[in-house]
Structure 1
Amino acid sequence: MAETVVSFVVERLGFLLTNEAKFLYGVCDQVKQVQAEVKWMHDFLKDADTRQIEGERVGNRVWEVREIAYDTEDAVETFIFEVASRRGCGIRIILKRFTCLLNEARLRRKVGLEIQAIQTRISNLTRSLQTYGIKHLNEGEGSSSATERRRLLRRSYSHVVEEDFVGLLNDVGILVAELVTKNTHCPLVSICGMGGLGKTTVAKKVYHHRDVRRHFDGFAWVCVSQQWKAQDILQGILKKLIPEIKNKEIMEMRDDELFKKVYEVQKEKKCLVVLDDIWSKDAWNALKDAFPNEKIGSKLLLTTRIKDVALHVDPNGFLHQLRYLNEEESWELLQKKALRRRDDTDSSVGIEMEKLGRKMAGQCGGLPLAVVVLGGVLATKHTLDEWETVNRNVNLYFRKGKGHDQEYSGVSDILALSYHDLPYQFKSCFLYLEIEEKETRTDVAERCLHELAHRCMIQVQVNESTGRIKSCRLHDLMRDFCLSKAKEENFLKVIDFRHGSEPVESTSSSTTRRIALYLHTNVDTFVLPPQETTQHLRSALFFNPYVDGLFISSFVEIDEFMPKMKSFFEDFKLLRVLDFGKGIKGRFPKAIGKLRHLRYLSLNGSHLTGSESVIGKLKYLETLDLRVPSYFPISMPNRLWKMERLRHLYLPFFTHSRRIRWDGLRNLEILVNLWPDNFEDLLKLTKLRKLKASCIEFNALGTIINYLSDPATCLRHSSFTLKAERFCSEEDLTLLCRLLECHHLYKLSLRGPIGKLPDDTHFSPSLTYIELGGSRLKKDPMVTLGKVPNLRRLELESDSFAGEEMVCSTMSFPQLRSLVLRCLENLEEWRVDEGAMPNLSSLRIQYCEKLKMVPDGLRFVTSLQEFKILQTAKRI
C-alpha cells in the first residue's frame, strides 16, 4: 500500500509542476528535487511493501515512507492554495499588492524549510530500509524465509485428497465430462474462484476420478504458485509422465531438452497435466512451449484465482467458476469437521448447539476454507458454553487461523495473498470498497473493477444492455479482510454516530486523510475527531443509516450539526472528495465554496438548499452530481458555465431553471439528465462520451437526432427517453425512424401511442436496450423486435401491446438477456419456439392477468437463471 501512495504522489507532484507552475515560483527546484527522491524511494518499496509480514520493524518503516509521501504532497498543495487565495487581493491597490508579495515570500521560505525537513527524513529512512535488508529495485527482488514458508504452506500435492467433500460434486461431474468426452472442443479446462473456494480440492477429485483415470494414459500434478521456476516445473511433470526415466537423467537435461521431451510425451499418449494455483501470465509464457495446442487427446487442467490468466492461456478454453456453498451445505461441512474426532456416543449436537452451529456456518459466507477453519476450532469444543465463546470470536479465528488443523494459516492470510499480488494502482481501489458499493465514473475506475473481478476479489453485476459493470460487492469475509487492511494501513477512519458519542474506530493520533461519517438523528452524538489528526483530510463521505437501496426511510437533518461542522469545512482546505450521500437534509454549508482543491462533489439523493450560489465558486471541480430527488427540485448553479475543468455532470431529475450555458464546459465527458432546453448547444461539447437525455416534444427531437447521428462525436454510450402524446403524422414517424437509426444510441425508452413499429431495418445495431410504454401496438411487436441483432434487454410496459397473442419464433432475440412483460392487460397466449432467446437469463412477468400459461418453449431456454411471476392468471 505504501508503494501505491508513493506512486500516486510522484505523479501528483509532476502534475503540479506542470499545471500549477505559476504558483510555485521560487520553490520549483526544491519540489523537483524532492519528487526525484520520492520516486527513487519508490523503488525500495517494491521489496519492502511485500515484506511487512516479516516483522513489525519493517512494517513501521514502510508506514513512515507512506507518511512522508503524504506530507510532501500536503506541503506543496498547501503552499499553492495559500498563494492562489492571496493573489489578486490587491491588484488595484499597490500597498495591498506589496503585502501579498511579502506574504508569498514568507510562504516560500516556510515551504522550503518543510521540504528540506522532508528530504532529511527521506535520507534517514533510506538508510534504515537498507539496514533491514530491503533492496533497491536494481539490486534484485527481495526474498526471505517467511516468503519460503508461505510458499511451502500453499504447495499442493495430488495424493492428499480431502475426505470431507460437500456441495461440489456437481462441479466435479461437469469438469470430468469436459475432460473425457471425445471430440471435445478444447485442450484446456480451467477452474477459477477466490481464495479458499475449493479450486484445488475440486481439481484433486477430478484428477483421481475413475473415469479420468480410465481415459488418460499419463498423469502429472504440479503446483505453480507465486514463486516458480520453469525448470523445476517441467522436471516435475516429466517425472510423473515418464516414471521409468531415472531422476538423474532428467536433472541433467538442458532447458531445451526438457521442453521438447514434455511436449513430445503429450503428443505420443493421452496425458492429463494439472497446473495448480497459477497466478500470472508470465508463468504460462515461460511454460507454454512445453504444451501442444492441437487437439491431440492430451489435456491441461489449471486452477487460478485470476480469470485473465485462464483466458490468456486459451481464450476458447473451458472456464468453470466455482460457486459458494449454501447454508445447508455449510452446516453439513461444519459438522463433518467439528464432530469428526468425537466418539460415536458423542457425535450428535443438541438443538441449541445446532442453532448456534448453523449461525456460525452462515457467518462463513459459503467459503469452504472458512468453514474448515471454524470446524477445526470447534472440534476441540464439546459444550454449548464453549461453542458460544467461539461464536463471540469467530472473526478472530478467521483472521489468525487458530484452528485444530495447523495446515491452515487462517482465512485472512489466504485472502491477503490476492491483495499483495495486486498491482499498486488497484490497491487503493480495493480498499475504497469497504465503505460502500460505488458506481464507476471513468474508464480507469472500470478497469480497476474489472481487474479486481477477474482476480475473484469482488463480485460484479453487469448491465445487460451495455455489458459494463453496473454494481459490485464484496464477499463478507473479503470485506472483513478489507476493513482490517484499511485500518492497518490507516487508509480510512470510520466514525459511526449510531453507537453513542464516541467514534467506533480507534482515535489514534496518526493523520487521517479519508473519513466516513455515519450520521444519526440525535445531534448530541456528533463528536468530530481532533482537528490535528484531520487537518490534511482529502475525502469526506457522509452516510444516512436509514437508507436501504433506493428507499429512504428517514432524512437526517444536518442543520443542527452545522455549528460543529463549520470548522470541518473551513479547516480542511485540501479536501478533494465530498459526498453527502443519500438522505441528508438541510442548508448547504457556505464554507464549501472556499475548498479550492475540491474535485468531486455529490448531492445525489440529498436535499441541501442554497447550494447553487456556493457550487459556482468551485471552479476546479471535475465531478458534480446533482441528482437530488424529484420532489426536491433545485436551481442550477448560476456560474456553472465557468467551471472549465468539469468532466462529469449529473443534472437534477427536475430543476426550476433548466437553461444552462455551456460556453466553458468543453471538457465534459459525461452528461446525465439533459433536457431539450439545452439540445441546441450540444455541438459545443466535443469531448462528450456518455449522454443521457429526455424529450417530451417533437420540436426538439431533430436536434438530438442530428447530434447522435454525427460520426465526428466522441460518444460511446447514449440513452434517450421520448415522451409524447402521440406518434401520428408521417413526419413524426420519419423522425422516429431516424432516431432508431442513430449509431451512438444504445438505450431507447418510448412513452406514448405508436400506430406501428418501424421496420426492423431501421433499428441500429448499437441498440441493446428498448423500453416501450403506452404504445398501444395492435400487431405483435416480437416479430420486429426479435430481429434487432444486439438487443439484450427488452421491457414491454403498461399498455404497450394491445393484442392477445405474442410469438417468439425460432432464431429470434439471439442476444437477449433480460425480458420484462408488465401490465399487458389483453395478453392471453404467448408462444416461444425452440431456438428462440438462447441467451435469456432473466424473465419477469408482472400483472399480465389474462395470460393463461407459461410458454412450454421456455424449457428449451437452458440459460434462464431468474424467473419471477407476479399477479397473473390463477392457473399459471
Structure 2
Amino acid sequence: MVDAVVSYVVKRLGDYLIQEAAFFRGIRSEVESLQKDLEWMNCFLKDAEEKQVDNPLIRQWVSDIRDIAFDCEDVLDEFMIKVRDEEIASDIVKGGEGQSSKRKRGLLPTFKKSVAKSSRKGKEKVTVYNIGKEIETLKKKLSVVSQRRQEYGLENINVKREGESPAFCRLKQLRKTNSFSFEENVVGYKDETGELLGKLLDDEPRRYVISIWGTGGLGKTTLAGKLYNNSAIIQKFSCSAWVSVSQDYNTQDLLGRIIKSFNSGNTPEKFERMSQDDMERHLHKSLQGCRYLVVVDDVWHKEAWASLKRAFPDNKNGSRVIITTRIKDVAERSDQRTHIHELRFLNQEESWQLFCEKAFCNFNIDEGLEKLGREMVEKCGGLPLAIVVLGSLLSTKKPQAWNLVRDNIWRHLRNDSIQITQLLALSFNDLPYQLKLCFLYLSNFPEDFEINTEKLIHLWVAEGYIPHDEEIMEDVAHNYLNELINRSLIQKGEIRFGMVGTCRVHDLLRDLAIQKAKELNLVQIYDEIRNSAHSSKVSCRRLAIYSGKNGTSCLQHCNPLLRSLLIFDLCGELPTYEQFIPTLCTRFRFLRVLEFEHRSLSQRCSLPKDIDKLIHLKYLRFEGALKIPKSILNLSNLETLHCHWGLLPDCNSLPTEIWKLKSLRHLIGRLVVPLRIDNMTNLQTLKNVRDNTWTKTNPETLVNLRELHLSVCYERGKFTFDSIAKLKSIQILTVSLLNVQFFPTLQPLSHCRYLRHLILNGKMEKLPGEMHVFLPNVESLLLNISQLVDDPMPILEKMLNLTELELGRFCYSGKKMVCTAKGFPRLEILTLHTKDLEEWQIEEGALPVLRGLKMEKHSQLKLPERLKSVLLPLR
C-alpha cells in the first residue's frame, strides 16, 4: 500500500516541476534528485509489505518511507504558500504606490519601489535557501532509511522467498484455494442455476465459455460447483475437470492439475517431466472426440484461459467451459463465444433463509432473536460469505450475546473468519497504485451512503489521484470508476443517461478501505453519534465529519497539514459556519478539498474574506445561504466550485468576474445573477445558468464545455439553439423553458457532433420529422415537454443510436402509440409516464434489444409477453 503513497508523491513532485517551473528554478536539481531517490526506494516497496507482513523491522522501515514521502509533499506545498504570501505582500506595495497622487511621483516613490524590489528578491532567496536545506534533510533521511536495509539484512526483500512470513504463506495458500467452499444445499440463485444449466445442456455443438463474475464471497465457486455436480451434467459429459487459478498462476502447473483432474487424480510419473508444450499436446489428444466440461475457477487475468484453451479441442459435440472471476473484463474477453452471467447479491428473503440455516441449528428462533438477526442480515447486504460467517458465529453464541455482535458486527466477522478480510483484500492487493488510492478515498463516505459519481470524480481529480497526460483527467477518472466497478469493488447505483449516476460500497469493503487507509494514516473519521473515530492520529491528511453538534470541535486537534475536509450533515445537527470557518483559512492552509453540507438553508452567513489564503484549494463545495467575498477570485488553483444557496432574497451570488478563475473546470450552482464567463477555456461543466448570462457570452470561447444546464426565462422569444451549436465539445445538454412559450427549431444542434445526452423541459408543438437527422449521435433523450398531439414514436424510432428514452408525464396525451418494424434498433431502456394510453401497437422486429421498460400501470393496456418480462418499477 505504501508504494501507492510514494508513487503519488513522486507524481506530485513531477507536477510541481512542470506546472510551477518558474518558482522552482533555483532548486530544480534538488527536487529532481529527491524525486529519483523516492522512485528508487519505491522499487523495494512493491512486495515488502505483503511478503514480510509479520516482520516488525519491515513494518517500521515501510512506515519510515511513508512518513518521508508525506514530508516531501509538505515541504513543497509550504514553499508555494510562502511564495504566494510574498507575491501578495509585493502586490500590496505596488497597490499603495499606484494610488499615489501625481505630486508624489518623484524620487521617493522610485526609492520605495527599488527597496520593495530588492526586499522581495531577498525574501525569495531566503525562501529558496530554506527549502533547499529542507530537501537536503529529507535526502539524508532517505539515505539513513536505505542504510537500515543493509544493517538489518533487508536488502533482498523483493526476491527473498526463504523464510517468508506465516501471514504471507497463509495468503498464498488462500489464493490457491477455492474462494468459497461448496455447500450441499445452496440457498438462492434458483433462476440463475436453471438458466446456466440450460446453457450447459443445450444443443449448440460448438464449444463455448460460460463466465460467472461478481464480487468476492458472492458464491461464484459455489454456483459453479452446484452445476458441476448436477446429475444431468454428470450424465451428459463423459469427462470433467476442475482447476483453481488464483492470481499467482503457472500455466504448466495448471495443465498438470487439469490432466490429474481428468484422470481422477491418477497421474503417471512421466507427466511430471513433461514440458508445457508436451502437456498441451497430450491433453489435446486425449480429449479428441470427448464431450468434456472444465471449470476454470478464480481467474484474475484474461491471459490465464488464453494460455490454456489451445489444449482444449472444439469437438463440435457440445463441450463447455465455466470460468469464475471477480473482474468483468476477464469475463467478457474469455472467448469469442461466451455467455456472461453477472451474479447478483441475495435478496432479503434469500439472505434470511441462508442465515437461518446457519444460525438456528442449536436453538429455536424467538421474536427478539429474529429482530436482531434480520437487522444484522440486512447489514450483510446480500453477500453470502458474510451471511454464512455471521450465522455460523451466532450459532455458537448465547442469545444474550447477540447484541454485542450486532454493535461490532464487522470486527466480530473479521475475528471469526480469515476469509472475510483476506478474500476481499485479494481484490484490493491486485489493484495498480492509482486505483488503490481511489478505492481508499471511498473510506471518507458514511456507511450506506449513495455517492454521486460526478462528485467523486471531481474529488479524485482535486486530490491529484488522476495523472496529467494527453487524456482529459475526468475521462481517466471515469475509466478508474468503471474499473473499480468491473473489479467488483464498487456497486452501481442509479443509472442516468446510460452512465453510472451514483455508486455505493458494500459495508465489508468499506470496512476494508477504512482499515487500509488507517494503516497508511490517510483518513480520519469523526462520528459523534456513533462515538467513533476510525483514526485518532493527529497527523492524518484527510478528515471526514459525519454528525454531531460538536462535530467541528475535533478540528482544534487536527493536523494543520490537513489536505481534505469533508463535512456531512447526516442528522441536521452540525454547528453553523461561523463556529469554525473564521479560523479555517488561517489554520488549514494546505487544504485542497473543502466541502460543507448543511441541511439548514436558512442560515445567513458568509465565507471569510481571507478564503484566498487557501492557495492550494482545488475543490470547494458548500450548501446554505452564503455571501461570497470577491477574494474567492484569487483562488487560482480552484477547479471545482459547487455552490448551493437558499432562497433568501438578500443572499449574494458569485462575483460577476468569475472568469478570473482561469483553472475552473466545473461551475455548479443556482446561478441566477448574470456572470461573465467568457474566456473560461478550461470550463467543462456549467450547471443551472440562466439566459441572462448565456446571451451575453461568446460560446466559441468555451472550447472545453462538455455539459450545460440552461434555463431560459428572461429573454422571451430571443433564445435559439444557434449559440449552443457553437459549442464544439458539448456532450450533455439540458435546456429548460420557464417563461418562454415553445422551443425553437432543433436544427442547429446538428452541428454538435459529440452531443450524446439531451434533456428538454418546456413546451413543444410537435417533434420535427428530421429529429434523427438533427440529433444523429444522441444516445439518451428525456423529453419532459407538453402539448404533443401526434404520436412521437414514428419520429423517435428513427434515431438509430438512441439507447435510453424517457417521455415525461404531459409529453403525449394520446390514446394510441405505434412502434413499427425495425424501429428503435438500439433502445435498451424506455420510460413512459403516459396515463391515458389505451393501445400500444408493437410490430414484429421493433425494440429488438429492449431490456428495461418503466411505465405507469394501465389496467386495459395489453403488452406482448416479451415486454412484460422486462418491466421495471417506475420511480
TM-score by length of 1: 0.86
Deviation of 1:425 after TM superposition, in Å, equals: 0.4
Deviation of 1:306 after TM superposition, in Å, equals: 1.0
2:561 is aligned, of 536, 543, 563, to: 536
Q: Which residue of 1 aligns with 2:60?
A: 60
Indicate whether 1:706 and 2:725 are aligned: yes
Report matched runs for 1:214-253 at 5 Å: 214-242=235-263, 246-253=267-274
Q: Which residue of 1 aligns with 2:753?
A: 743
Q: Which residue of 2 aligns with 1:784?
A: 795
Higher relative contact order, chain-length normalized (CA < 8 Å, sep 6+): 2
Q: Which residue of 1 aligns with 2:170?
A: 149
The SS at the match of 1:566 is helix
Closer, same or farther in 2 for the Cα pair 1:305/1:141, shift >3 Å?
farther
Q: Which residue of 1 aligns with 2:418?
A: 409
Deviation of 1:245 after TM superposition, in Å, equals: 7.5
Indicate whether 1:104 and 2:124 are aligned: yes
Q: Provide the rounded CA distance (Å) in 1 between the counterparts of 2:644 and 2:425.
A: 37
1:644 is aligned, of 644, 654, 662, to: 662
Closer, same or farther in 2 for the Cα pair 1:559/1:235, shift >3 Å?
closer
Closer, same or farther in 2 for the Cα pair 1:323/1:132, shift >3 Å?
farther
Please report the RMSD computed on the Cα atoms of aligned residues, expressed in angstroms.
3.2
2:476 is aligned, of 436, 439, 444, to: 444
Larger mean CA deviation between 188-197 and 210-219 belongs to: 210-219
Report matched runs for 1:113-152 at 5 Å: 113-129=133-149, 145-152=166-173
Report matched runs for 1:332-371 at 5 Å: 332-340=353-361, 342=362, 348-371=364-387
2:492 is aligned, of 460, 469, 494, to: 460
Indicate whether 1:162 and 2:179 are aligned: no
Q: Provide the rounded CA distance (Å) in 2 between the counterparts of 1:612 and 1:596.
A: 15
Larger mean CA deviation between 678-687 and 443-452 belongs to: 678-687
Q: Provide the rounded CA distance (Å) in 2 between the counterparts of 1:535 and 1:278.
A: 45
Deviation of 1:86 after TM superposition, in Å, equals: 0.6
User: 1:701 is matched by which residue type in structure 2?
Assistant: T
Q: Does structure 2 conserve the Cα–Cα contact (< 8 Å) formed by 1:842 and 1:866?
A: yes
Q: Provide the rounded CA distance (Å) in 1 between the counterparts of 2:608 and 2:850.
A: 49
User: 1:34 is matched by which residue type in structure 2?
Assistant: L
Q: Does structure 1 conserve the Cα–Cα contact (< 8 Å) formed by 2:242 and 2:296?
A: yes
Q: Does structure 1 conserve the Cα–Cα contact (< 8 Å) formed by 2:212 and 2:323?
A: yes
Q: Which residue of 2 aligns with 1:394?
A: 409
2:782 is aligned, of 766, 771, 789, to: 771
Please list the CA deviations of residues 153-205 of structure 1 after superposition, one character each: whole Å capped at 9, or x if unmatched.
Answer: 34347997422421133322222211221116761111111111111111111
Q: Which residue of 1 aligns with 2:870?
A: 864
Q: Does structure 1 conserve the Cα–Cα contact (< 8 Å) formed by 2:428 and 2:436?
A: yes
1:374 is aligned, of 384, 390, 393, to: 390
Q: Provide the rounded CA distance (Å) in 1 between the counterparts of 2:290 and 2:619.
A: 61
Deviation of 1:852 after TM superposition, in Å, equals: 4.7
Q: Does structure 2 conserve the Cα–Cα contact (< 8 Å) formed by 1:186 and 1:317?
A: no
Please list the CA deviations of residues 337-365 of structure 1 after superposition, one character each: whole Å capped at 9, or x if unmatched.
Answer: 2344x4xxxx5333333333333333322
Closer, same or farther in 2 for the Cα pair 1:775/1:741, shift >3 Å?
farther
Q: Does structure 2 conserve the Cα–Cα contact (< 8 Å) formed by 1:811 and 1:836?
A: yes
Deviation of 1:743 after TM superposition, in Å, equals: 3.3
Deviation of 1:506 after TM superposition, in Å, equals: 5.7
Please list the CA deviations of residues 467-501 of structure 1 after superposition, one character each: whole Å capped at 9, or x if unmatched.
Answer: 322111011222222223222322211223556xx
The SS at the match of 1:701 is coil
Q: Does structure 2 conserve the Cα–Cα contact (< 8 Å) formed by 1:47 and 1:134?
A: no
Q: Does structure 1 conserve the Cα–Cα contact (< 8 Å) formed by 2:355 and 2:387?
A: yes
Q: Does structure 1 conserve the Cα–Cα contact (< 8 Å) formed by 2:853 and 2:867?
A: no
Q: Which residue of 1 aligns with 2:466?
A: none
Indicate whether 1:621 and 2:652 are aligned: no
Deviation of 1:2 after TM superposition, in Å, equals: 1.2
Please list the CA deviations of residues 56-101 of structure 1 after superposition, one character each: whole Å capped at 9, or x if unmatched.
Answer: 4433332222221111011022112202321335566232333333
TM-score by length of 2: 0.86
Closer, same or farther in 2 for the Cα pair 1:608/1:810, shift >3 Å?
same
Q: Provide the rounded CA distance (Å) in 2 between the counterparts of 1:455 and 1:228.
A: 19
Please list the CA deviations of residues 368-396 of structure 1 after superposition, one character each: whole Å capped at 9, or x if unmatched.
Answer: 11122123223333x42243444344322
Please list the CA deviations of residues 304-331 of structure 1 after superposition, one character each: whole Å capped at 9, or x if unmatched.
Answer: 1111112222265111121222233223
Q: Provide the rounded CA distance (Å) in 1 between the counterparts of 2:377 and 2:279.
A: 47
Q: Provide the rounded CA distance (Å) in 1 between the counterparts of 2:187 and 2:291.
A: 30
The SS at the match of 1:233 is helix
Closer, same or farther in 2 for the Cα pair 1:156/1:489, shift >3 Å?
same
Indicate whether 1:572 and 2:588 are aligned: yes
Indicate whether 1:485 and 2:516 are aligned: yes
Q: Does structure 1 conserve the Cα–Cα contact (< 8 Å) formed by 2:291 and 2:315?
A: no
Q: Which residue of 1 aligns with 2:431?
A: 422
Q: Does structure 1 conserve the Cα–Cα contact (< 8 Å) formed by 2:784 and 2:809?
A: yes
Q: Provide the rounded CA distance (Å) in 2 between the counterparts of 1:112 and 1:509.
A: 29
Q: Which residue of 1 aligns with 2:279?
A: 258
Please list the CA deviations of residues 135-165 of structure 1 after superposition, one character each: whole Å capped at 9, or x if unmatched.
Answer: 6798589965533322323434799742242
The SS at the match of 1:46 is coil
User: 1:435 is matched by which residue type in structure 2?
Assistant: N
Q: Provide the rounded CA distance (Å) in 2 between the counterparts of 1:184 and 1:783.
A: 41
Deviation of 1:583 after TM superposition, in Å, equals: 3.2
Q: Which residue of 1 aligns with 2:29?
A: 29
Specify every segment of 5 or more residues in structure 1 that has no aligned partner in the other structure, as ranges.
403-407, 547-553, 870-876
The SS at the match of 2:532 is coil
The SS at the match of 1:235 is helix
User: 2:532 is matched by which residue type in structure 1?
Assistant: V
The SS at the match of 2:53 is helix
The SS at the match of 1:194 is coil
Q: Which residue of 2 aligns with 1:504?
A: 532
Q: Provide the rounded CA distance (Å) in 2 between the counterparts of 1:612 and 1:827.
A: 53
User: 2:812 is matched by which residue type in structure 1?
Assistant: F
Q: Provide the rounded CA distance (Å) in 1 between the counterparts of 2:140 and 2:149.
A: 14
Q: Provide the rounded CA distance (Å) in 2 between the counterparts of 1:326 and 1:805.
A: 37
Q: Does structure 1 conserve the Cα–Cα contact (< 8 Å) formed by 2:547 and 2:573?
A: no
Q: Which residue of 1 aligns with 2:108?
A: none
The SS at the match of 2:298 is strand
Q: Which residue of 2 aligns with 1:671?
A: 686
Q: Does structure 2 conserve the Cα–Cα contact (< 8 Å) formed by 1:834 and 1:860?
A: no
Q: Provide the rounded CA distance (Å) in 2 between the counterparts of 1:831 and 1:129.
A: 76
Q: Does structure 1 conserve the Cα–Cα contact (< 8 Å) formed by 2:749 and 2:775?
A: no
Larger mean CA deviation between 9-18 and 765-774 belongs to: 765-774
Deviation of 1:809 after TM superposition, in Å, equals: 4.1
Q: Provide the rounded CA distance (Å) in 2 between the counterparts of 1:867 and 1:749.
A: 23
Deviation of 1:660 after TM superposition, in Å, equals: 1.2
Q: Which residue of 1 aligns with 2:505?
A: 474
Q: Provide the rounded CA distance (Å) in 2 between the counterparts of 1:154 and 1:171.
A: 26
Q: Provide the rounded CA distance (Å) in 1 between the counterparts of 2:678 and 2:387.
A: 57
Deviation of 1:234 after TM superposition, in Å, equals: 0.4
Deviation of 1:284 after TM superposition, in Å, equals: 3.6
Deviation of 1:208 after TM superposition, in Å, equals: 1.0
Q: Does structure 2 conserve the Cα–Cα contact (< 8 Å) formed by 1:777 and 1:801?
A: yes
Q: Does structure 2 conserve the Cα–Cα contact (< 8 Å) formed by 1:276 and 1:304?
A: yes
The SS at the match of 1:626 is strand
Aligned-residue identity in percent: 33
1:653 is aligned, of 666, 670, 674, to: 670
Please list the CA deviations of residues 557-596 of structure 1 after superposition, one character each: whole Å capped at 9, or x if unmatched.
Answer: 624414xx43322122221111223536431122221111
Please list the CA deviations of residues 206-265 of structure 1 after superposition, one character each: whole Å capped at 9, or x if unmatched.
Answer: 111112112212111111112221111001112233569842121121221112222333
Deviation of 1:800 after TM superposition, in Å, equals: 2.4
Closer, same or farther in 2 for the Cα pair 1:769/1:542, shift >3 Å?
same
Closer, same or farther in 2 for the Cα pair 1:471/1:316, shift >3 Å?
farther
Larger mean CA deviation between 469-478 and 120-129 belongs to: 120-129
User: 2:596 is matched by which residue type in structure 1?
Assistant: F
User: 1:574 is matched by which residue type in structure 2?
Assistant: F
Q: Does structure 2 conserve the Cα–Cα contact (< 8 Å) formed by 1:464 and 1:817?
A: no
Closer, same or farther in 2 for the Cα pair 1:716/1:775, shift >3 Å?
closer
Q: Provide the rounded CA distance (Å) in 2 between the counterparts of 1:852 and 1:286.
A: 56
Specify every segment of 5 or more residues in structure 2 that has no aligned partner in the other structure, as ranges.
95-111, 446-450, 459-473
Larger mean CA deviation between 416-425 and 741-750 belongs to: 741-750
Q: Provide the rounded CA distance (Å) in 2 between the counterparts of 1:471 and 1:572.
A: 30
Larger mean CA deviation between 266-275 and 420-429 belongs to: 266-275
Q: Which residue of 2 aligns with 1:683?
A: 700
